[in-house]
Amino acid sequence: MRPCMRPGMTKALTVSTLAALVLVGCSRTSDVQPTTVKPLTTAPTAAQEPVPVNLEFEGDAATSALRNYLREQAVAVNAGSADREQVPAFLATLTPAAQDWALPLLAENLGDRMPGPYPSGVLASERVGAERVELQVCLQDRGWQVDRTTGETLNAANYSTAQAVVLRVEDRWLVDDLVADGGQCTAADVVEERF
Whether the per-residue pLDDT at 158 is higher than 50: the answer is: yes
Of 65, 58, 94, 48, the C-alpha closest to 191 is: 58
Mean pLDDT to the nearest integer, 21-43: 33
Using CB atoms within 10 Å of the CB of residue 78, give its burial: 0 to 12 exposed, 13 to 18 middle, 19+ buried: middle
Distance of alpha carbon 7 from the chain centroid: 13
| Banded model confidence at residue 3, pLDDT cuts 50, 70, 90 | low
Backbone angles phi and psi of 32, in degrees to 5: -60, 120
Residue 34 clears pLDDT 60, i.e. is over it = no
The alpha carbon of 152 is separated from its chain's Cα centroid by a whole number of angstroms, namely 23
With H, G, I as helix, E, B as strand and everything else as coil, classify residue 121. Answer: strand
Cβ atoms of 142 and 132 closer than 8 Å:
no
CA angle 42-44-49, nearest 5°?
Answer: 145
Listed in sequence order, the residues at least 6 apart from 181 whose beta carbon sits closer than 8 Å to its beta carbon are 8, 136, 161, 162, 163
Q: Report the chain's terminal Cα–Cα distance, integer Å.
A: 19
pLDDT band at 137 (very low <50, low <70, confident <90, very high): very high
Q: How high is the mean pLDDT of the chain?
A: 79
Percent of the chain beyond pLDDT 90?
A: 64
Q: How much is the pTM?
A: 0.74
What domains sit in the chain, N to C, each tagged with a CATH number?
Answer: 11-26+52-189 (3.10.450)
In 10 A of CB 178, how many CB atoms? 32
Question: pLDDT value at position 145?
Answer: 93
**Higher-scoring residue by pLDDT: 37, 162:** 162
Instruction: Indicate the DSSP class of residue 190.
Output: -
Q: Output Rg (C-alpha) for the chain, integer angstroms.
A: 16
Total Cβ atoms within 10 A of residue 87: 22
For residue 9, what pLDDT is reported?
43
Pick the closest to residue 111 from 144, 145, 137 (CA basis): 145
- Look at 87 and 15; give whichever has higher pLDDT: 87
